[in-house]
Amino acid sequence: MSYLVGATLADHPAGVCFRDLLSKPGILQMPGTHNGMAALQARDAGFSALYLSGAAMTASMGLPDLGIITMEEVAFFTRQVSRASGLPVLVDGDTGYGEALNVMNMVRTFEDAGAAAVHIEDQLLPKKCGHLNDKKLADAHDMAAKVAAAAKARRHLYLIARTDAAASEGMDGAVARAQLYLEAGADAIFPEAMISREMFEEFARRVPDVPLLANMTEFGKTPFFTASEFEAMGYRMVIWPVSSLRVANKAQQQLFDAIKRDGGTQRMIDRMQTRAELYATIGLHDYEALDTSIVQTIIPQGMPQK
């Protein structure tokens, strides 16, 4: 149903809905959805919450994940994904776009855009993807001050503190930072770039009774684990941040190569979402029904094929 109909909207703030999901049994699975269409498809596949990756948003703009994306650009993606899906959305807040006041402004902006949760990380700008080399860490107390500022600014937003410390400070450093961030007001911890099952399990054992988030990105340092395996290791949330963008990008490249090679799309038709499938996903008829001046669309059966 269209988001324009008030009766279809959630009765509670997004952050409350996110907490409700975490209170249920099982690990909360959040696929990365880099735009409204991906959000609709993930919702239709049965997911109850979504993730917005800074790397995916930035890459969709044709840019690298080096802290280039602005807060307002992220808010645009957040509004789009939240509005399209109607689901709670966890948003990547990078380093918080500055210091304490900037972080507070980010929290207010993201809540107003429909975010349910946010994570901020303890890197310094220019930041990098957590699975790359030469990451520079902020002072732990400076990061804790950002977490405290975010906690003070929020009304309902669920706050996750990400630490990239394992690579340079070891498990002791990552655990110490996690404890400091929890004391500052974080609701959960995201230990980034764990490289083995043993590391995931040790972190969970040393940070007990705290909701933990696992990142199952491809082509990174983390081996492949399933959601159920992460749950068995002690994790309450798992994200697949860039997976949908990777698949979409690969498909687009194959399409463009085919057009250049064949002079048309005729060999790619069977790989396309049909017009009927597109309209069903975006709910065209539901929108048309809201305005009696619009005659319901009759979907063409398709062009003649050679």
- The token pair at 202 is 């040790």
Does the annotation count 141 as an active-site position?
no
Does the annotation count 236 as an active-site position?
no
- CA-nearest of 47, 56, 65 to 127 is 65
Does the annotation count 131 as an active-site position?
no
The alpha carbon of residue 267 and the mean position of all alpha carbons in its chain are separated, in whole angstroms, by 33
Selected catalytic residue, list 111, 164, 187, 192: 192
Selected catalytic residue, list 17, 34, 43, 94: 94
Selected catalytic residue, list 43, 119, 131, 236: 119
Does the annotation count 187 as an active-site position?
no
Does the annotation count 229 as an active-site position?
no
Give the whole-angstrom CA distance, residue 26 versus residue 46: 15
Selected catalytic residue, list 35, 122, 215, 231: 215
- The token pair at 55 is 């790397």
Does the annotation count 94 as an active-site position?
yes
Give the whole-angstrom CA distance, residue 271 versus residue 248: 12
Selected catalytic residue, list 34, 43, 162, 177: 162
Does the annotation count 92 as an active-site position?
yes
**Residue-wise burial string across 50-80, b where 16 or more C-beta atoms lie within 10 A, e elsewhere:** bbbbbbbbbbbeeeebebebebeebbebbbb
Selected catalytic residue, list 17, 35, 43, 92: 92
Does the annotation count 198 as an active-site position?
no
Cβ-in-10-Å burial (0-12, 13-18, 19+) of 147 comes to buried
Selected catalytic residue, list 121, 164, 202, 231: 121
Does the annotation count 105 as an active-site position?
no
Does the annotation count 65 as an active-site position?
yes
Give the whole-angstrom CA distance, residue 83 versus residue 79: 6
Selected catalytic residue, list 17, 35, 43, 51: 51
Instruction: Kindly report the backbone phi and psi dihedral angles of residue 191, in degrees, each rounded to the nearest multiple of 5, phi listed first.
Output: -80, 115
Peptide bond connecting 126 to the previous residue in cis, omega within 30 degrees of 0: yes
**Residue-wise burial string across 188-212, b where 16 or more C-beta atoms lie within 10 A, e elsewhere:** bbbbbbbeeeebbebbbeebeeebb
Instruction: Kindly report the backbone phi and psi dihedral angles of residue 109, in degrees, each rounded to the nearest multiple of 5, phi listed first.
Output: -65, -45
Selected catalytic residue, list 43, 65, 97, 177: 65
Active site residues: 51, 65, 92, 94, 119, 121, 129, 162, 192, 215
